[in-house]
Structure 1
Amino acid sequence: MNEAQLKAGQGAGALRWLWLSVVIVAADQVTKWLVTQNLALYERIELLPVLGLTHLHNTGAAFSFLADAGGWQRWFFIAIAVLVTVLVCFWLSRMPARGQGWLAAALALVVGGAVGNVIDRVAHGYVIDFISVHWERSFFPAFNVADSAITVGAAILIIDSFYESRRKQKVI
């Protein structure tokens, strides 16, 4: 790699998108701190007829999967998140610096969300959830900013893969 390529940002590939991961981690940790400082565990504040804040602790994964597994799942989920983060950062480093913005942004959202939840698992042994969506007495599992980033990132990855496959079909 020559000096001109490094100056153009091509040496790091799409790693420049990790600024988005940093924003997600910061927003996630600040909102979790605000919740823990202002709401007791299980305390609830209704914001809208379908949206509230509820301070909860989740020792499991999405939808409290393996929450009652006895403690080993903490390290399992940390290991998975760290592995995914490393692999995605490697993927970003190999991508071109320009031309695949949606894919890079999606991957950066996933990294930010994974790191945000890993921080909780390492520091507390659980993830702090607080966004509560419901319809009357039916509640969707609570989530947080990190979970939202992972979900949005995954959705963008799926959408981008459809567009990518259509682009490849047009070339063939």
Structure 2
Amino acid sequence: MRPDEPGQALPHGHGFPYLLVSLAVLAGDQASKVVAHARLRPLGTVPVIPGWFDLTFVANRGALFGLGREFGPALRTLAFAFLPAVAVVFLAALLWRSRRREAGFQGGLALILGGAAGNLLDRIRLGFVTDFLDFYWGTHHWPAFNLADASICVGVGLLGLDLLRDRRSASG
């Protein structure tokens, strides 16, 4: 097997370039949130494509799409700070130590790590996650989200595609 073939085991540390992707996601996410705080927080909402997309400042004290915002302080700290911090450390170690070379796997982990770190940093610094991308149709709004959330979703999609590819190659 050649070193560049899919599935080839590589020495630890191969994930370093992908850790840089995670850092780029984190930097872009945090930069966009700084702008959202400075520009959107005072205004509330800025229409971009009327009837479809606005920039709207939302202080999300819950999890994905606001889930769990009704939790008490102790459960909120556990669910939204401690567990995500453990997940970020786990993802960074997995990415660093992984011997898998596939871009779908490595890239998926990198995007999830960068997004998770971005939202965790918000929770630690602000006590909430800054959301500002507001898509809607008429009066039906998708919950506001941010670049970290989008990165996590794309990363999960890449991992799913990688898993499907692995299953297809194993079966035939």
Which residue is 2:16 aligned to?
Answer: 15
Which residue is 2:4 aligned to?
Answer: none
2: distance between equivalents of 1:74 and 1:152? 26
TM-score by length of 2: 0.87
Equivalent of residue 86 in structure 1, options 85, 89, 94: 89
Deviations 1:23-56 (A, max 9, x none): 1111111110001101236710110131110011
Which residue is 1:5 aligned to?
Answer: none
Which residue is 2:158 aligned to?
Answer: 156
TM-score by length of 1: 0.87
Are the aligned partners of 1:107 and 1:153 in contact in 2 as well (CA < 8 Å)? yes
Deviates more, 1:121-130 or 1:161-170: 161-170
Cα displacement (A) at 1:70: 2.6
- Give identity over the alignment, percent: 29
Amino acid at match of 1:133: F
Which residue is 1:3 aligned to?
Answer: none
Amino acid at match of 1:88: L
1:29-68 aligned at under 5 Å gives the runs: 29-40=30-41, 43-49=44-50, 50-68=52-70
2: distance between equivalents of 1:27 and 1:59? 21
- Structure 2 unpaired stretches of 5+: 1-9
Are the aligned partners of 2:12 and 2:98 in contact in 1 as well (CA < 8 Å)? no
Amino acid at match of 2:147: V
- Structure 1 unpaired stretches of 5+: 1-8
Are the aligned partners of 1:47 and 1:53 in contact in 2 as well (CA < 8 Å)? yes
Which residue is 2:139 aligned to?
Answer: 137
Cα displacement (A) at 1:151: 0.6
